[in-house]
């Protein structure tokens, strides 16, 4: 199968590209390498993959890579609320306009399947357990762009292209394009580097999933042409932030939890997610544990594969700020971007 991974040189995409290539798929990765400051993409991607350095808002480029593809997977965008808050207009272009432009192009090219990487962040804050039928409750711009894209994709794909929505739990574990800014990776790297595990509050629940398991789910979704919305994770891996800290402390020798003030409303996400639908369809999906992911991150620092976890390249918020300042990523305001920005403001109000 010929698969195009948009944003495929990122944390998840670089793992997924290796996995899909190992299964014999023909993989094309398109990425602007926002966080990599000129790194050789050959270090991130399998040698069999084709790499195209470009912007995911460029319809001509997308037209060329979609031509003859069986599936298009959209992993691009700015991940998480803190990075999206740097510039809301940029976030709307990268997280809403870009996947919609790609969907228009994929449908125009007659691509069979379009997989959109969404997030369990769409659930925001909920009592009880949420599943794919629960009404989303987006708490910030990141989640709002995901909710709107999910809603609009079926119209844009116009019955030509099958649409698959993957709502990921928070991802952990090692990758050729390492991120250390999500909760597990951040706590594990801090524990090794400083001996301290910062904990602010800690009662909020977070579902977790290992990056390698996400790649496996993507491969299954492509093989079986699974359509519709899927929560990606495991019922066993719903943890509170305090439990994550305790797990890290138990694995990293000599580390201890350092309690700080409760988090403010900026990250008020709190939800328990049901992954029953995925388990029923793919019974062995997402079986890697939190402990395994923590150990992988601890090993990256212990073996000095990563020497300075504070470098901006490991943190999407600081990495994006650097890229924005250096002009490696900018607001384009093309006609298509403006059109999708209007849709966003019509749905959620002015930026
Ligand atoms: N990592 C998580 O915990 C998590 C959780 C839920 C959902 N997701 C979703 O999974 C997807 C992948 O996340 P990730 O952790 O791999 O993020 P990432 O930041 O590591 O990867 C995103 C990639 O997209 C590229 N990119 C973004 N906008 C681009 C543009 N306009 N042109 C060219 N390249 C562009 C970046 O260079 C980067 O390589 C995202 O859609 C994210 O919302 C991730």
The mean pLDDT value for 167-196 works out to: 96
Residue 31 CB less than 6 A away from ligand 1? yes
The protein residue whose alpha carbon is closest to atom 12 in ligand 1 is 75
CATH number at residue 39: 3.40.50.720
Q: Is residue 164 part of a domain?
A: yes
The mean pLDDT value for 87-107 works out to: 98
Ligand 1 atom nearest 182 alpha carbon = 3
Do the strands 113-119 and 71-74 form a parallel or antiparallel pair, or are they unpaired? parallel
Contact, 254 vs 212, CB < 8 A? no
Give the domain range for residue 109. Answer: 2-173+209-237+273-288+316-348
Separation CA 24–CA 4 (nearest Å): 14
3-state helix, strand, coil in the chain (%, to 5): 45, 20, 35
pLDDT tens for residues 273-283? 999 999 999 99
| pTM of structure | 0.97
Tokens matching residue 190: 């801090």
In angstroms, what is the span from residue 258 Cα to ligand 1's centroid? Answer: 30
Separation CA 118–CA 136 (nearest Å): 12
Alpha helices in 67-136 (DSSP H): 81-84, 88-92, 98-108
Q: Is residue 87 part of a domain?
A: yes
For 284, residues 6+ apart whose C-beta sits below 8 A from its C-beta are none
The protein residue whose alpha carbon is closest to atom 43 in ligand 1 is 79
Examine the pLDDT at 246 and tell me if it is beyond 90.
yes
pLDDT of residue 263: 63
Helix (H) or strand (E) holding 228: strand 228-232
Residue 237 DSSP class:
G
Nearest one of 121, 29, 122, 136 to 74, comparing CA atoms? 29
Residue 18 CB less than 6 A away from ligand 1? no
Q: Is residue 299 part of a domain?
A: no
In angstroms, what is the span from residue 291 Cα to ligand 1's centroid? Answer: 24
CA distances from 2 to 27, 93, 213, 308 (A): 6, 27, 21, 37
Residue 238 CB less than 6 A away from ligand 1? no
Separation CA 131–CA 137 (nearest Å): 12
What is the CA 148 to chain-centroid distance, rounded?
A: 16
Number of domains in the chain: 1
Q: Is residue 216 part of a domain?
A: yes
Residue 140 CB less than 6 A away from ligand 1? no
Residue 15 CB less than 6 A away from ligand 1? no
pLDDT-based confidence at 267, cuts 50/70/90? Answer: low
Residue 55 CB less than 6 A away from ligand 1? yes
Q: Is residue 258 part of a domain?
A: no
Q: Is residue 132 part of a domain?
A: yes
In angstroms, what is the span from residue 13 Cα to ligand 1's centroid? Answer: 8
pLDDT of residue 281: 97
In angstroms, what is the span from residue 9 Cα to ligand 1's centroid? Answer: 9
Average pLDDT score over the chain: 94
Contact, 306 vs 300, CB < 8 A? yes
Q: Is residue 178 part of a domain?
A: no
pLDDT of residue 250: 97
The mean pLDDT value for 302-317 works out to: 93
Q: Is residue 125 part of a domain?
A: yes
pLDDT tens for residues 55-85? 999 999 999 999 999 999 999 999 999 999 9
Helix (H) or strand (E) holding 294: helix 290-302
């Amino acid at each position: 199968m010929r698969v195009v991974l948009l944003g495929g040189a990122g944390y998840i995409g670089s793992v997924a590209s290796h996995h899909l290539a190992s299964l014999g798929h023909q993989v094309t990765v398109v990425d602007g390498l926002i966080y990599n400051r000129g790194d050789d993409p050959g270090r991130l991607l399998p040698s069999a993959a084709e790499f195209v350095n470009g912007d995911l808002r460029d319809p001509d480029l997308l037209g060329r890579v979609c031509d003859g593809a069986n599936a298009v997977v959209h992993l691009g965008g700015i991940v998480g609320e803190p990075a999206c808050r740097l510039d809301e207009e940029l976030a709307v272009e990268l997280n809403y306009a870009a996947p919609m432009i790609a969907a228009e192009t994929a449908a125009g090219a007659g691509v069979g399947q379009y997989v959109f990487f969404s997030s369990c962040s769409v659930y925001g804050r909920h009592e009880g357990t949420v599943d794919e039928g629960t009404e989303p409750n987006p708490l910030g711009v990141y989640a709002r762009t995901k909710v709107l894209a999910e809603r609009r994709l079926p119209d844009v794909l116009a019955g030509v292209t099958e649409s698959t929505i993957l709502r990921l739990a928070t991802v952990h574990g090692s990758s050729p394009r390492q991120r250390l800014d999500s909760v597990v990776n951040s706590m594990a790297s801090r524990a090794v580097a400083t001996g301290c595990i910062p904990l602010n509050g800690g009662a909020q629940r977070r579902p977790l999933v290992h990056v390698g398991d996400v790649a496996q789910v993507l491969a299954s979704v492509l093989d079986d042409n699974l359509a519709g919305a899927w929560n990606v994770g495991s019922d066993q891996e719903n943890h509170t932030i305090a439990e994550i800290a305790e797990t890290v402390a138990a694995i990293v020798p000599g580390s201890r939890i350092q309690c700080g003030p409760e988090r403010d409303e900026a990250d008020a996400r709190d939800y328990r997610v049901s992954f029953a639908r995925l388990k029923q369809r793919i019974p062995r999906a997402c079986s890697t544990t939190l402990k395994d992911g923590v150990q992988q991150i601890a090993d990256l620092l212990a073996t000095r594969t990563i020497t300075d976890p504070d470098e901006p390249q490991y943190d999407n918020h600081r990495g994006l700020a650097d890229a924005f300042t250096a002009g490696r990523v900018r607001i384009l305001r093309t006609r298509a971007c403006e059109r999708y920005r209007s849709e966003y403001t019509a749905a959620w109000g002015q930026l």
